[in-house]
Amino acid sequence: MSAVAGGAGTLAGRSLSLVVLVSLGWGLNWPMMKIVLNEMPVWGFRCFGLILGATAFFVIALVSRQRIRLQRGEILPVILTSQFNIVGWHLLSGYGIAMIGAGKAGIIGFTMPLWASLLGVWLLGERLQRRTLVGLALGIAGVAVLIQGELANLGRSPEGTVAMLGAAFTWALGTVLIKRSAPRLPLVSFAAWQFLLAIPALATGALLIEGVPSLALSARAWGAMAYIVVVALVVCQVAWYRIVKTTTAAIAGISTLAIPVVSLLSSALLLGEPLTWREIVALLLVGSALAVVLVAPALARRRAAAALPPVEGLGG
């Protein structure tokens, strides 16, 4: 596979299936993280998960004989994107989930498309097409419907709210920097280095703030941890880098808008968190956003291709 680089402005075919995979995989990941965080502190949890994830990525890269060695021009961009895309997001979102719950944290975390769109215009010179603006407006409206019912509760935990807003911004900035620097590593090797380079900061914080973490977790927490490492950190992370590679920063951000809806639904099922009409309205708005930005262009291209007359052979 080629590196994480800029690509087309829309998602279609295989990439659209990756959006569904990431939406379901990362959406279900939020209640899983809450389950583990009930038994393990934030720094230790994030550090332990990234150690397992980095190990898995390096093993996969070695077995598949992908290039692992960083070239001179790739070192600084990979270090920089790792600190925002991995350290900032994982640490701040961990605190946010612990303070305000999985469902509410997911709502705020996925204001990310707004920041990614604005940063893409500023740092990448991307132009926001009308379809992208409509999709962004629909998606943010869906998140706004969800957050409106939680404003009073969020006001009681401003630290958790600020942490999640910071997490959303750092993830967006990391996404834009990945597209800007475009390292030529294969996706699995790129993810391996992203995780590995995030571990020193998290390990230092864990030892200084929390001490050596205890791994005496319940079977339920270990099951949640297994899901987090295998599905969220390995499968979905590679799928996400592929999405970033094949679309603009704005559309990549919009493609994540179904995740908070999935997180709310799964949190209600697994953790007993409340589920109201707002989730249904948000689901419709987010679904409309994804249809406008991702599905409609693919259908238009298929119709255009079907309408083209057959090319006659030369000399016929």
pLDDT at 67 over 70: yes
For the cut 50, the answer to whether the pLDDT of residue 5 exceeds it is: no
Instruction: State the pLDDT confidence band at 4, using cuts at 50, 70 and 90.
Output: very low
Residues 267 and 30: beta-carbon distance below 8 Å:
yes
201 vs 294, more confident: 201
Phi then psi dihedrals of residue 215, to 5 deg: -105, 20
> DSSP for 12-61?
-THHHHHHHHHHHHHHHHHHHHHHHHTTS-HHHHHHHHHHHHHHHHHHHH
Is the predicted pLDDT of residue 132 greater than 80, yes or no? Answer: no
Look at residue 58 in the predicted model and tell me its pLDDT: 94
Distance CA 197, CA 58 (A): 13
Which residues have C-beta within 8 Å of that of residue 92, sequence separation ≥ 6?
Answer: 163, 164, 166, 167, 170
pLDDT value, residue 7: 41
Please state whether the predicted TM-score (pTM) of the whole model is above 0.75. no
Q: What b/e readout covers 181-196, taking b as 16+ CB neighbours within 10 angstroms?
A: bbbebbbbbbbbbbbb
pLDDT tens sequence across 195-212: 999 999 889 988 998 888
Position 256 pLDDT exceeds 80 = no
- In this prediction, residue 117 has a pLDDT band, given cuts at 50, 70 and 90, of confident
